[in-house]
Amino acid sequence: MVKVVALLLFRGLSMIVSFYLSVLIVNVLGTEKSGVYFYIVSFVSFSASAIALGLGRNLLKEISLNQSRISYINSILMKSVGILSISYFIFIFIFRIILDYNIPKAITENNLQLAVIIIILPFTLNELLSFAFQGVDRLFLNVLYTNIGVQILLLISFLCNFIDNIETLLTLYFWFNFSLVIFGFITFFRKVSFTFAFSEVKSKVLLKNSFPLFLSNVVSQLFSFILIFFVEFFHSSGEVSYFSVCLRIATALSIVNFSVSRVYAQRFGKLVSENNWTGLKRSYFKSLKVGIFFLIPAALIGILFSKTILSIYNKDFVGQFILLIVLMVAQPLSFLGVIGSFILQMLSKEMFIRNIYITVYLISILVSVLLIYKFSVYGAAITLVINYSLIAFLSMRKVHYVLLQKTNQ
């Protein structure tokens, strides 16, 4: 509980940074250009998930279950980085072909192709480091490497008036990510004695174990990007800005998802390794209670003050308060799905996670086309609610079934 509260406080501070940063981005760049920036950030996140091949989540699992095997931890991290680097160069080749067809439009029309390409690799490596730090119980660094460190540096840059256009913003975005990559590897191997023990884990096995998580994660990230893509394609970059800002505000509630899952994921792994099914069941229900305890009042506050929050941006954003309310309502559903997926992963149910994620996200993508075409950003928000509801229901149902089987053995 103490760790959850500590992470909530730090994550809460980081969300304030993210919120303030988004305000500055909108005010400095304007609604249209800020929409282009948010589009690029979404595209980078999707690209990172495709390049990472599910290695991050698998890395978390392997480190959590093998914390005493230092050489194994070194080996699996270095192998993951090597595979990820090869994947990145393959991605560049595919991306270069796509650019010839003027896709993605928001990137090509603003001549930002090179900026996007060079940002993707360090961004992806930082996500991998975040999982590695979580696995060795370095939760502060785990939080720092979930893009929060970069956001803090960008905020300082805005406050110092170093940024006045999107090109400068993206240049600094790259350098801050790159600097954190260097710092992260130095820090990780300073605390975890470095040894070259590549024979401890085979690349083929690593990819095989990561693949189910890769499919589910890349489809989920594709879904997130598709919402932005369709909003821009059918409507405008300004609408992208509205949706992105409201989603960023609503996902401030993800501090609960993040903090509870980060603390309990490692605990789930430890209990599974000990075959302590009763303890696992208790820990699972406790995680749900802790999450709901923080989520409900936070969501109510967000809903009640939705207009006030949006007025901080500009008068155009105030009219989007209903959009913000819908996205706020979706967050508790997201939490249930997150906890369910973490415990299923520790129970080695990656195939089930893959199947429900692929099925639900593909259905959601198809639904989003019609909803966004007809209702713009509100259609995107409704699609998110449908998506979170289905994942929460299916994952929780599976968790209860597996735990019932294990405790009755």
Distance set, CA 363 to CA 213, 382, 383, 398 (Å): 19, 13, 10, 20
Q: Which pLDDT does position 200 carry in this prediction?
A: 57
Q: How far apart are CA 71 and CA 369, in angstroms?
A: 48
Q: How far apart are CA 225 and CA 148, in angstroms?
A: 20
Q: How far apart are CA 391 and CA 409, in angstroms?
A: 27
Q: Which pLDDT does position 89 carry in this prediction?
A: 93
Q: How far apart are CA 320 and CA 236, in angstroms?
A: 15
Q: Is 196 left (phi over 0), alpha (psi -120 to 50) or beta?
A: beta
Q: How far apart are CA 130 and CA 127, in angstroms?
A: 5
Of 231, 224, 95, 122, residue with least CA distance to 181: 122
What does the buried/exposed string (b/e) look like for 191-227 if buried means 16 or more CB atoms within 10 Å of the residue's CB? ebeeeebeebbeeeebbebbbbbbbbbbbbbbbbbbb
Q: Which pLDDT does position 3 carry in this prediction?
A: 57
| pLDDT tens-digit profile, the chain (409 residues) | 555 566 566 666 777 888 899 999 999 998 889 999 999 999 999 999 889 888 887 788 777 777 667 777 777 888 888 889 999 999 999 998 888 887 788 898 888 999 999 999 999 999 999 888 888 777 778 778 888 889 999 999 999 999 999 999 999 999 999 999 999 988 887 755 545 444 456 666 677 777 766 776 788 788 889 999 999 999 988 999 999 999 988 887 776 666 676 677 767 877 887 888 888 888 888 888 888 888 888 888 888 999 999 999 888 899 899 999 999 988 888 888 888 888 887 887 878 887 888 899 889 999 999 999 999 999 999 999 999 999 999 988 998 888 888 777 6
The phi, psi pair for 26, rounded to 5°, reads -65, -45
**What's the residue count for the chain?**
409
* Residue 154 exposed, middle or buried by CB count within 10 Å (0-12, 13-18, 19+): buried
**Cis status of the peptide bond prior to 104, with omega within 30 of 0:** yes
Q: Which pLDDT does position 310 carry in this prediction?
A: 92
Q: Which pLDDT does position 155 carry in this prediction?
A: 94
Other CB atoms within 10 A of residue 111 CB: 9
